[in-house]
Amino acid sequence: MRVFKLMGVQTMIMTNAAGGLNPDYRVGDVMILKDHINLPGLGGTNPLMGPNEDRFGLRFPCTSDAYDRDLRALALSVGAELGFGDLLREGVYCVQGGPNFESIAECRMLRIMGADAIGMSTVHEVLVARHCGMRCFALSLVSNMAIMDYDSVERANHDEVLETGRLRAKQLESLVSELVDRMETHNTC
């Protein structure tokens, strides 16, 4: 992120695959991140640990405005214009350390905590990008539903994640490229 910053990048667009925790979500939905829960961060592991690099940003950065409101609104309208507004959601992404998928008890706890989707990436990048003043937009492809039921015979697996990615690749490509075409290039930070 800091190399991008030094190269003059002002806006970061990030994508990930995530497990759906919100029972209203379906495999193949696309969740625009409006906020996150940084589980490793709450536990004391954070990419901004260590001496602060003052030339990049503040020691104690704000995260309540991490995901740019204007870009979120623009993505929702672009998706609707492209004909797949019904797939789009806005929600809270939770990052855990991985690489294992979550246990049933963990999924249930995360849902109670307010997470709509769970993954293993993106938040670290967002924290460093925001620290140095870059505008951030991120979306999650709901590649599988988290297992919440002890009677379920479903098992989270990476093949399903890859398969859903293939299924939605074209639509996500058109969403991101149209977003890039239309977004203001200036940094609002």
Ligand X SMILES: Nc1nc2[nH]cnc2c(=O)[nH]1
Which stretches of the chain bind ligand R1P, using CB under 6 A? 16-17, 98, 119-121, 158, 161
The closest of 43, 25, 156 to 95, measured between CA atoms, is: 43
Site for ligand X in 10-69 (CB under 6 A): 17-19
Pairing of strands 11-20, 30-38: unpaired
Q: Output 98 or 114, the one with its CB closest to ligand R1P.
A: 98
Give SS3 for 186. coil
Site for ligand X in 61-120 (CB under 6 A): 96, 98, 101-102, 118-120
Rg of the chain (C-alpha set):
17
The closest of 59, 23, 5, 56 to 142, measured between CA atoms, is: 23
Give the per-residue contact string, 142-161, with ligand X (x = CB under 6 A; - = no): -xx-x---------x----x
Q: Output 88 or 145, the one with its CB closest to ligand X.
A: 145
* Using rule CB under 6 A, residue 164 touches ligand X: no
Q: Output 35 or 52, the one with its CB closest to ligand R1P.
A: 35
Q: Output 9 or 14, the one with its CB closest to ligand X.
A: 14
Contact of 120 with 166, CB cutoff 8 Å: no
Q: Which does 121 bind (CB under 5 to 8 A by kind): ligand R1P, ligand X, none?
A: ligand R1P
Give SS3 for 20. strand
Distances, alpha carbon 110 to alpha carbons 60, 106, 119, in Å = 26, 6, 11
Could you list the residues that contact ligand X (CB under 6 A)? 17-19, 96, 98, 101-102, 118-120, 143-144, 146, 156, 161
